[in-house]
Structure 1
Amino acid sequence: MVNILRGKGPLFILPWRCTQACTSNCLHCGFASNSPAPDALGTEETKRIVDEIHDFGATYFGISGGEPLQRKDLPEIIGYAKNTGMNVSVITNGCFLDDKTFDNLVRHEVRVSISVDGPKEINDAIRGKGAYTKAVSAMEKTSKAGLLDCLVATLANVDTTRNNVTSEDMEHIIKLAEEYGARWVVIHGFIPFNRTKEHLAKAPSPEQYEKIWNQVYDLRLKYKGKPEVNVYCPFFARVAKQRGLPDFNDWFNNFFLGKCSIAGKYMSVIENGDVIPCSFNDRIRLGNVQNKPLNQVWDQLQTSELTLKLRDRNNLKGKCGVCEYREICGGCRTRA
């Protein structure tokens, strides 16, 4: 199995969260609608971040948000990143894919991931009215151009009385990926960070997680890698192990995206140049790329007291501490 998690340097992809601004107000997102970070870096400063990420050895320059396509200088930044030789990817809700933006993505062969959380009724209840139609329109457009790479979903209940975290909803997304030629479907668990903590009642229950991850495992078997289904949640590894996934160690080490990354396995750069070890945890800052090279940040991360403590499973407490699957799961430190 090809290792999708490594590149020329320590990381295959090093994401840049370019903005917190977004017109949506999704239940599972940590950023409030239309609230850009006040200290976001400008275009020229951002280009220096691109240079740092390139020098770090990343194969992909990943762009996330908020909603990246709302950033006015994004076309210029994308072009600059491509000129370094890196591939570029962007994750978007599809609501701002106008002709000018689309032409820029095509010109620079940007790999596009589109967020969608289920059928129209469910998706729009989570993301806002009209979001589903715009997302599907973006899928069609990027698919025809050969840019559509991935569909990204996040598990959330629409309200506290309705169980809408179902295999039917997840299969709907997989069928969309199949129809429009996306290679991947990535399903996220509900992670409480920033304003998302206000919506904890919408998070799946432990019973829902147990049921849906087993159903997702079945869907992986059903679709046989076309599209490939991956899960961004550490608990899924335990399900895969219990279900007897063939070549589990190879899958876990080289393919599985859901391992907790905060213990020195990941970095991303946010709007003001700060480096964080987890996309869902802004509380831990490793330094700022404007005054500390990424290679230095990475080296310090590997040996920091916090990293070593988080990496040692003997420090896990409670149920996680005594679980026989703690070495392959380990839980989510942000959730904890």
Structure 2
Amino acid sequence: MNFLEITKKKYYDAVKNPVPMMVGLRITHACNLNCKLCGVGAGKPFRGEMTTEEAKKVINNISRAGVSHLSFGGGEPLIRDDIIELAGYAAHRIDSVGIVSNGLSLDKGMARQIARAGVNQVMVSLDGVDPATHDANRGAGSYERVIKAIDNLQDARVTARISFTISRANCNQLSKMIGLAAKYGVNLHVQEFFARGRAAGHDSLILTKRERRDMQRLLHKTQAERGAGSISFENRYIVSEDERLKHICTDPNLGSGFYDFCVGSLTGIYSLFVSSTGDVSLCGGYGADRLGNLKKDSLTEIWKNSELIKAVRNREKFTGKCGECTYLYICGGTRSNAYHILKDIFAEDPLCWVGCSEEELDAA
């Protein structure tokens, strides 16, 4: 068998009976900041957001499906009066619970409450290594409050992580951001900027394919030097240059589980999103990828029976560059890129840099 045939067999062995390991629960759309480039356009709460009791029922629903990690996001989750109650409730039912925050509400008292609730980690957003860069998007004084939030979390013995949204406005700070995370002894998550929400129309800030490739190479190199857990990022395309991973994917003596085999895009295999009103989606959207609502629908049944999820696991349905790629079964592109940019979850990933000409690399 050739590379494509071997990885195809191992891929389908791996995804025969997947469980939704990670759920991102956007517990509110409300936010105490008004970031210029907010990708979800957070501000005021949506109509029909979950009450405390509804949220607990949704958490029970998620727990019954076998989810091992639940992340509370928003908006800004910490401005919900019941967030500590909900986080503690989740921590008693799900193996790992996290919170994604802008850091503004993370004073010493809140950090201690989070620790007592049993939250495993808090990821705080930091858009630059200096106040000028970060505050240009998030507002004056917010940089210093994020740095203080990291200190408060560490004092409370809560694992802190930095989330860095990278764009053309701050990509020149990536090396320094890696250093800043190391200085504070925290892990770094890097996610790309997309022109959605309030950021719509700012396409000039989207990385070029060359910038994306160089970013991923640097992060991959840093992972190898400091350990895989030190940095996380959407690293689908780098598999084309990772000889060790390609060996793992084709070695018949290695199994087909999630932990020793790369299946690439985890959409419909590993993760999904739940909105503050209970809607379930694959890519965090509010449109065609909606799968049901956890106020009334069983996540277990959605995961087992959704025709869209079944279709996304079937990579023969992928079109364009992804459908023709040697790395289809160990990469598969990023489905959210296809969905949000091309409006087709089965389309090629328009951000992929693998096989691009020099001219194509300099295009956004």
Give the alignment's TM-score, normalised by structure 2: 0.76
Aligned counterparts of 2:69 and 2:224: Cα–Cα separation in 1:
29
Identify which of 251, 271, 276 aligns with 2:281. Answer: 276
Identify which of 306, 309, 334 aligns with 1:307. Answer: 309
Residue identity opposite 1:119 in structure 2? V
Aligned counterparts of 1:256 and 1:67: Cα–Cα separation in 2:
35
Tell me how far 1:60 sits from its aligned partner.
Answer: 3.1
Tell me how far 1:197 sits from its aligned partner.
Answer: 3.4
Question: Does the 8 A contact of 2:28 with 2:276 survive in 1?
Answer: yes
Identify which of 198, 203, 206 aligns with 1:203. Answer: 206
- 1:62-114 deviation line (CA, Å, top 9, x unaligned): 21111111112212212322344644211111111134422311212322111
CA 1:83 to 1:316, structure 2 compared with 1: closer, same or farther past 3 Å? closer
90-99 vs 77-86, greater mean Cα deviation? 77-86
For the residue of structure 1 that corresponds to 2:161, the secondary structure is strand
For the residue of structure 1 that corresponds to 2:337, the secondary structure is coil
Question: Does the 8 A contact of 2:123 with 2:162 survive in 1?
Answer: yes
For the residue of structure 2 that corresponds to 1:267, the secondary structure is strand
Question: Does the 8 A contact of 2:125 with 2:164 survive in 1?
Answer: yes
Which residue pairs with 1:78 in the alignment? 87
Residue identity opposite 1:271 in structure 2? S
Aligned counterparts of 1:130 and 1:174: Cα–Cα separation in 2:
22
Tell me how far 1:252 sits from its aligned partner.
Answer: 10
Which residue pairs with 1:223 in the alignment? 226
Which residue pairs with 2:174 in the alignment? 170
Aligned counterparts of 2:266 and 2:150: Cα–Cα separation in 1:
29
Tell me how far 1:287 sits from its aligned partner.
Answer: 0.9
Residue identity opposite 1:67 in structure 2? E
Identify which of 20, 44, 47 aligns with 2:53. Answer: 44
Aligned counterparts of 1:155 and 1:51: Cα–Cα separation in 2:
35
Which residue pairs with 1:144 in the alignment? 155
For the residue of structure 2 that corresponds to 1:57, the secondary structure is coil
For the residue of structure 1 that corresponds to 2:290, the secondary structure is coil
For the residue of structure 1 that corresponds to 2:335, the secondary structure is coil
CA 1:26 to 1:126, structure 2 compared with 1: closer, same or farther past 3 Å? same
Residue identity opposite 2:90 in structure 1? A
- 1:161-194 deviation line (CA, Å, top 9, x unaligned): xxx313xx22333333323332x32211234544
Which residue pairs with 1:179 in the alignment? 183
263-272 vs 64-73, greater mean Cα deviation? 263-272
88-97 vs 319-328, greater mean Cα deviation? 319-328
RMSD, aligned α-carbons: 2.9
Question: Does the 8 A contact of 1:28 with 1:156 survive in 2?
Answer: no
Aligned counterparts of 1:198 and 1:72: Cα–Cα separation in 2:
34
Residue identity opposite 1:165 in structure 2? C
Tell me how far 1:265 sits from its aligned partner.
Answer: 3.2
Which residue pairs with 1:5 in the alignment? none
Which residue pairs with 2:12 in the alignment? none
Which residue pairs with 2:6 in the alignment? none
CA 1:32 to 1:15, structure 2 compared with 1: closer, same or farther past 3 Å? closer
Aligned counterparts of 2:145 and 2:117: Cα–Cα separation in 1:
22
Identify which of 117, 124, 135 aligns with 2:127. Answer: 117
CA 1:256 to 1:140, structure 2 compared with 1: closer, same or farther past 3 Å? farther
Identify which of 330, 333, 344 aligns with 1:331. Answer: 333
Which residue pairs with 1:291 in the alignment? 296
Residue identity opposite 2:146 in structure 1? A
Question: Does the 8 A contact of 2:237 with 2:333 survive in 1?
Answer: no
Tell me how far 1:203 sits from its aligned partner.
Answer: 1.1
Which residue pairs with 2:141 in the alignment? 130
For the residue of structure 1 that corresponds to 2:144, the secondary structure is helix
Residue identity opposite 2:171 in structure 1? V
Tell me how far 1:24 sits from its aligned partner.
Answer: 3.0
Question: Does the 8 A contact of 1:20 with 1:37 survive in 2?
Answer: yes
Aligned counterparts of 1:21 and 1:258: Cα–Cα separation in 2:
35
Which residue pairs with 1:254 in the alignment? 259
Aligned counterparts of 2:134 and 2:270: Cα–Cα separation in 1:
31
Identify which of 153, 161, 166 aligns with 2:164. Answer: 153
Which residue pairs with 2:217 in the alignment? 214
Number of equivalent positions: 313
Work out the percentage of aligned pairs sharing the same amino acid.
Answer: 26
For the residue of structure 1 that corresponds to 2:271, the secondary structure is coil
Give the alignment's TM-score, normalised by structure 1: 0.82
Structure 2: stretches of 5+ with no match in the other structure:
1-17, 339-364
Structure 1: stretches of 5+ with no match in the other structure:
1-8, 159-163
CA 1:315 to 1:208, structure 2 compared with 1: closer, same or farther past 3 Å? same
Aligned counterparts of 2:262 and 2:159: Cα–Cα separation in 1:
19
Aligned counterparts of 2:72 and 2:263: Cα–Cα separation in 1:
19
For the residue of structure 2 that corresponds to 1:45, the secondary structure is helix
Question: Does the 8 A contact of 1:185 with 1:228 survive in 2?
Answer: yes
Question: Does the 8 A contact of 2:41 with 2:197 survive in 1?
Answer: no
